[in-house]
Every structure is written in structure tokens, then in C-alpha cells.
Amino acid sequence: MTAVSIEPVTPERWEDLEGLFGPTGAYGHCWCAYFRRRAKDFSASVGCAQPERGDTNRETLRRLTVDNHVPGLIAYEGEQPCGWVSVAPREQYVRLSRSRSLRPTDPTEVGVWSLVCFWLPPRRRGGGLGTRLLDAAVQHARANGGRVLEAYPVDTVGGRAPSAEVYTGTVRMFEKAGFTCQPHPKSGRPVARLGLKDE
């Protein structure tokens, strides 16, 4: 693989991220806002009856970026954007706190960061870029005061899953990176966690 750099998404990189996601906002006008908005608000924003669907999601991500909240990391091959990972303090992801299947078991726990999404253009999948983005996300969360990094991968034991279903990553991917994966006590969905404190 050609040399790849991975950088925080700061205001000057908004246009790069916008270009990477393209006119459909990566996953069906999502603009990586699925976990950042309440379920009813997100559903309304991608309704098929709206010709401008996704505009509110795009604005959610743009506003975070231009307000210097760093919603994630972007990968570059040379100057060309080629991948994305959404990683930030868990409290930025409104849907997690309301989710029946992923609600924090200890909502008072401090210093928890969440990794909720990867986006790679089809031609970049399967070449190790996702793993590089994961490694960079761990480093980014640790460098910015995170005590734990949490993720919500898909268990693909028994076969491959369509790429649209594994945007949160796979259990195998996180376990190889040193995460511990346990079923959520309410839903049974895998939750991956990695301590970030220096030994």
C-alpha cells in the first residue's frame, strides 16, 4: 500500500471529508450522523419523500467540524482522502445514551470514547486501511485524554457480512487490536473495549 497519513478532521479538512463522502453522504445520506442524532430526528432526515434528504445530517457533521470538535480522523494517500473513522468522546453520540441495545452499563463512567463508524471507498476495502484507521483512533483517543475506547462491532463468525452491515467494524478486527469483546448485558450485541491509561 502507498504511504498513508491519518489526520484529525479539523475545519480546514472539511472539504476533503465532504469530497470523500460524496453527494450521498457515504452510507445513504447518513453523513456519519446516525449515532449523533436522536432516532426520530435521524429517520426524518433521510425520509425518501425529502428531495434534500441528508442535508440536516451533513450540516450536523459540518458544524461539529467547523466548531473544532474533531468528529473523527481522515486518511490520505498523498493528498487524496481515502478513508474515515468516527471517534470522539462517548457523550457526543446522543443515540448511544438512548439505545436499548448499546446504552452504557455505567453512564457515570468518565473518559470513555466511542468509535462508531468506518467509511472506505469500495476500492480501498480489504487492504488493511481499516486496521490503520483503528490504530490511529486508539492513539487519538489516548492523546486527548480518553481512559477507555469503546466500539460496537459486528460478529462475522460463520461467514462474511455485506460491507454495509460492518461499518462499525468486526469483532475479529477489534480483538486483533487488543480489545476485549463482551456481549451487552441487555441486548447481547458485542461491545469492544480497550483501556487507554498508560501502564
The model's pLDDT over 144-170, given as tens digits with 9 standing for 90+, comes to 999 999 999 999 876 666 556 788 999
Report the pLDDT value the prediction gives residue 100, as an integer from 0 to 100. Answer: 85
Could you tell me if 184 and 101 are in contact, meaning their C-beta atoms sit under 8 angstroms apart?
yes
Structural domains of the chain sorted by starting position, each given as residue range(s) with its CATH number in brackets? 4-195 (3.40.630.30)
pLDDT band at 199 (very low <50, low <70, confident <90, very high): very low
Q: Which residues contact 47 (CB under 8 A, 6 or more apart)?
A: 53
Q: Which of 159, 135, 85, 174 is nearest to 190 (CA)?
A: 174
Q: Which of 124, 121, 144 is nearest to 22 (CA)?
A: 121
Residue 47 grid cell: 425520509
Average pLDDT of the chain is: 88
Alpha helix segments (H runs only) across the chain: 14-21, 39-45, 55-66, 94-98, 129-143, 171-176
Q: What is the per-residue pLDDT across 90-146, written as a single tens digit (0 to 9) for each?
A: 999 999 988 888 989 888 899 999 999 999 987 777 788 999 999 999 999 999 999
Residue 153, sorted as left (phi over 0), alpha (psi -120 to 50) or beta, turns out to be beta
